[in-house]
Amino acid sequence: MKNRPSGFGIDELPRVVRGKGSYLFDAAGRRYLDGSGGPAAFCLGHAHPEVNAAITRQLDEIACAYRYLFTSSALEQLTDTVLRLCGGDFQDIVFTGSGSEAVEAALKIALQYFAALDLMSKRHFIARRRSWHGNTLGALSVSDFAQRRRAFEGSLLDVTFVSAANAYRMPAGVSGENLVPHLAAELERAIVAVGPQRGAAFVFEPIVGAAGGVVPAPDGYAQAMQAVCRKFDVLMIADEVMCGSGRSGTWRALEHERVVPDIMCIAKGLAGGYIPLGATLVTARVAAPIHIEHGSFMTGHTFTGHTAACAAGLAVQHIIERDHLLERVRTAGQILKENIRRTLSTFDEVGDVRGRGFFIGIELVRNRETRAPFPAERALSFDIGARAFADGLICYPCAGNVDGAAGDTIIIAPPYNASDAELQEIVEKFARAVGAALGGG
């Protein structure tokens, strides 16, 4: 099979005609169980009648009002809802049309913060290896995803990269209990090398998505990195575009670490894919000098705060909260992960099953002891993804998590309201695809 990352390993894309709940249907009548929520976005599945009704009501009134002329009930209510769900730790929100835009806005807000303090030398960003933050040039600059960066090298920002926080693939000579101190010391060395007077922000995913195949940072990591950032007046930007908005079982992924970043980015689960919507959240510490010096954030676009998109996000969040879906994600997610681990235990090539909530990653290795990856040209993850798709299961294959080229992982990220029967169907069909790909059948 061809390695076609842009098509999840699928040679010819079918034409979708409708969706219902956790399933999608194509023009030929085939049915697909959405076991990854597309790219971990469709948190309530498809065609939820309440979300569709909320969007329709908003469209009947006004689709979108330009943000420099009007506010709206949908925008105001969603702002209040998101700030409340975040625990009151953030003061301001800039709504965007995507996760990439949310990260781009975060970078700009960090720079604007230091400009407001007349610290114009603090322009340099630090990010992690094997990370992904988006497709705008700024967001791509802080991403270490070789396949997606290659065509744009030479026009990206100069960014310093530090090691990934991956307990399954430890730095040479580092033991488990020393991983967090080692990574914190590395960040400190990086800031000192850049020059504390130049360091603006450290950008990271609390749980790495596509670039690593669902890699939760080890316990204590976020606290340790935040301490280093505070020591050198470097902002902490948490990219929760994929892992946040409830995907990992808490509304903020960093709730698990009891850490509040200076700036946070969200998107996929915010409006569940019904209308594109993202957001950048800012703490009072960062927002205050900007408002005093500049009056407002110097970021945003024509469709920032899009009225119908906000109505969709409000409906999605109301349903998640009313139906206690985050509790389900926490409890059913643990069961799902253990079920996947148990079912795949017969395959020596399954090296790791990890994740939190309905955000689960499976890493395939050639040798379980050495954790050596399969050759990149084997394109194993895309082979498995294509076989699953042909069997009516959508999963999310990823490649290059080891060295930018080799390494195969697959993400399982079902809708929060997927039934127990649907979760079991995911496990069975996924195991069948793994077996067929490894056995060559």
What is residue 11's predicted lDDT score, i.e. its pLDDT? 82
What's the CATH code, domain 51-322? 3.40.640.10
Per residue in 347-386, pLDDT (tens digit) is: 999 999 999 999 999 999 999 999 999 999 999 999 999 9
Asked if residue 303 lies in contact with residue 64, where contact means CB atoms within 8 angstroms, the answer is yes
Q: What does the pLDDT look like over 409-436, one tens digit per residue?
A: 999 999 999 999 999 999 999 999 999 9
pLDDT of residue 147: 86
Rounded to whole angstroms, the Cα distance separating 413 from 397 reads: 12
Which residues fall within 8 angstroms of residue 196, CB to CB, at 6 or more apart? 232, 233, 234
- Residue-level pLDDT at 4: 46
CB 265 within 8 A of CB 240: yes
How would you write the pLDDT of the chain (441 residues) with one tens digit per residue? Answer: 344 444 677 888 999 999 999 999 999 999 999 999 999 999 999 999 999 999 999 999 999 999 999 999 999 999 999 999 999 999 999 999 999 999 999 999 999 999 999 999 999 999 999 999 999 999 999 999 888 999 999 999 999 999 999 999 999 889 889 999 999 999 999 999 999 999 999 999 999 999 999 999 999 999 999 999 999 999 999 999 999 999 999 999 999 999 999 999 999 999 999 999 999 999 999 999 999 999 999 998 999 999 999 999 999 999 999 999 999 999 999 999 999 999 999 999 999 999 999 999 999 999 999 999 999 999 999 999 999 999 999 999 999 999 999 999 999 999 999 999 999 999 999 999 999 999 965
CA distance 159 to 174: 25
The pTM of this model reads: 0.96
Domain regions of the chain by residue span: 5-34+324-439, 51-322
Q: Which residues contact 65 (CB under 8 A, 6 or more apart)?
A: 71, 72, 307
- Closest to 101 in 3D by CA, of 78, 131, 135: 135
- Predicted confidence at residue 146, as pLDDT, reads 87
Nearest to 426 by CA among 351, 352, 350, 332: 332
Q: Among all chains, which residue has been given the structure tokens 């769900």?
A: 85
Domain 5-34+324-439, CATH class in plain words:
alpha beta
pLDDT the model gives residue 2: 41
Distance CA 275, CA 432 (A): 33
End-to-end Cα, the chain, rounded Å: 12
